[in-house]
Every structure is written in structure tokens, then in C-alpha cells.
Amino acid sequence: MDIIHSVADLRERLQREPNNVFVPTMGNLHDGHIQLINIAKPRAACTVVSIFVNRLQFGPREDFDRYPRTFEADCKRLSEASVNVVFAPDEKEIYPEPQTYLVEPSDLQHILEGAARPGHFRGVATVVLKLFSLVMPHSAIFGKKDYQQYIVLRDMVRQFALPIEIIPAETVRAPDGLALSTRNAYLSLEERREAPLLYQVLKKAHGEIMNGARDFQRIELHSMSELADHGWKPDYVAVRRQVDLQPPRQGDRNLVVLAAARLGRTRLIDNVEVNLSH
């Protein structure tokens, strides 16, 4: 496994191996990331993983400074997962000058996560476009836990006609249902015990829709009050169309219930797809 820190070395290394698949990360790797790598591995001769905590996608009051950085442990896991190239640039390498050219996603960037985190998807799209132009992969893997991120990036690739296939990966969960996330590490023991409620609420909403419920607003409000009753501060629970994350229209069969809620100081997100039979 080659660990590369500079753009020049990366370009040189990948010139020798242009058939590559890419898994961008911010490090602090858990089993969810390893699953992305396992999906990547059979698709190309060379699997490239980036580790870069991207300041551009964090708001001024968010956790950029305290975001866990665990480079040694990450490299060990990546080597065990038979990754070929780790690209771990520092900020000056990715942003040698202030990044004044930015990728402005569609209005999708302002809803749901975007409403709570202004500028977040602009930062994500900008760094991912930049990483794509450095790595030049034919495919890239993104987890569906960050559902809106996946949709934003899928649309970006389509709109800019990038020759890259975006492959979504299922969310990996702890045995009690909690979606794996770096931010789970911020939870106290008591909060960790409470945390699976988010998935339980989503599964309940999923069950109701599968059983024929169509009053989505009632489901959303009911789910949010269940979280609030248990001491959470929900930002949203929203039933949306998978294709564009807009409110469902009559006859839509492929939906997704998305949620974001604060448990103590930690903001957790999760979602569950609902596929109604035709």
C-alpha cells in the first residue's frame, strides 16, 4: 500500500495505474468505510482511498477542529483491507490558494441537511470535484447514510458529464441498529444507549407507509414528537422521493424517510428507503 501526501506523487503513481476506483473519506475509519472499500476492490486494479478533513464543508460553529483524526489506525485498517493507494494530503496541498472557484449545487443544497448546514454541500461538491480531477477514477463509492450527499454528487457528475460512475453503498449498522458514523464517538454511554431510537423511529415510519399510510405529514410530525419525548431535538423527519428528495407526488413508489436530530451535543442523521411494489 502506497501512502501519498502530495498531488505530484499521486499523479505520478496513478499514471502507472489509471484503472482505479475511488473511496473519498475524512478518515477515522469504521466498518462502514471498510464496506465501501469492499465494494470498490473488485471493480478496478487499483483502489484509491483519500483521507482529508475538508474545512470547506464545515460551518463556523461545527466540529472541524475536534473531528477525530486517527491517521495511524486508519492506515492499518486500509492496509488490512488491501487498499492500493492512500492519498492523505494536507490543507495546503488541496487548497494551495484560497478556493474561490466553488461548485454550486442545485437548490437541493438548501433543503434538509442543507437547511441546517448552510454551505455544506457546496464544500462537499467542491472538494469531491477537485479530488476527482486529481484521482481521475472511473468509479467512486459513497455511503447511503449520507443520502443527500450521494444525490448531490450523483447529480454533479451527471451535470458536468464526468466520466465517473457513482456507486451507492448500503448503510452499515451496529447490532442495535445505530448507523455507523464517526460522530457516534461523541456520544456519552447513556446517549449511546438512547441512539438506536433514531433508526427505530425511521423503521416505524417505513412500516406505516408499507402498510398503506399516505399522510406523510402526520408520520413526520409523529416521528419528531417521539424523538422529542425521549429528549432529542429533531431537526427534521421527512418523507421524500428518492430521485430528487422532493415531497412525494401521487403514485411515487420509491421514497426515503430521512431524519436528523440532536442527542445532547451530537447531531445524528439516518434514513430508510421505502420501495413500494408496483
Judged by the rule CB under 6 A, the positions of this chain that interact with ligand PAF are 24-26, 54, 57, 124, 127-128, 146, 149
Q: Rounded to an integer, what distance in angstroms lies between the CA atom of residue 49 and that of residue 263?
A: 31
Instruction: Output 29 or 227, the one with its CB closest to ligand PAF.
Output: 29
The least CB distance from residue 12 to ligand PAF, in Å, is 23
The cell numbers describing 188, all together, are 456519552
CB 168 within 8 A of CB 28: no
Q: Is 5 a catalytic residue?
A: no
CA 221 to each of CA 81, 227, 238, 253: distance values in angstroms, whole numbers, following the listed order: 42, 10, 9, 21
Residue type, position 208, single letter: E
* Smallest separation, CB 201 to ligand PAF (Å): 23
| Nearer Cβ to ligand PAF (106/225) | 106
All residues at 6 or more sequence positions from 145 whose CB lies less than 8 Å from its CB, including other chains? 32, 171, 179, 180, 181, 269, 270, 271
Residue that the C-alpha cell 472499500 belongs to: 37
CA atoms of 167 and 154, how far apart (whole Å): 9
CB nearer to ligand PAF: pick between 58 and 216:
58
* ∠ CA 202-208-211, rounded to 5°: 140
Are 223 and 198 within 8 A, CB to CB?
Answer: no
Give me the least distance between CB of 276 and ligand PAF, in Å please.
29
Identity of the residue, 25 or 223, whose beta carbon is nearer to ligand PAF in the bound complex: 25
- Could you tell me the three cell numbers for 223? 416521528
Question: Is 64 or 236 the residue whose CB approaches ligand PAF more closely?
Answer: 64
Angle at 109 between CA 118 and CA 160, to 5 degrees: 130
Q: Please report the sign of the dihedral spanned by the C-alpha atoms of residue 58, residue 60, residue 66, residue 71.
A: positive
Which residue is catalytic, options 5, 30, 33, 222?
A: 33
Q: Closest distance between ligand PAF and the C-beta of residue 122, in Å?
A: 12
In the complex, the smallest distance separating the C-beta of residue 92 from ligand PAF, rounded to whole angstroms, is: 17
Enzyme catalytic residues: 33
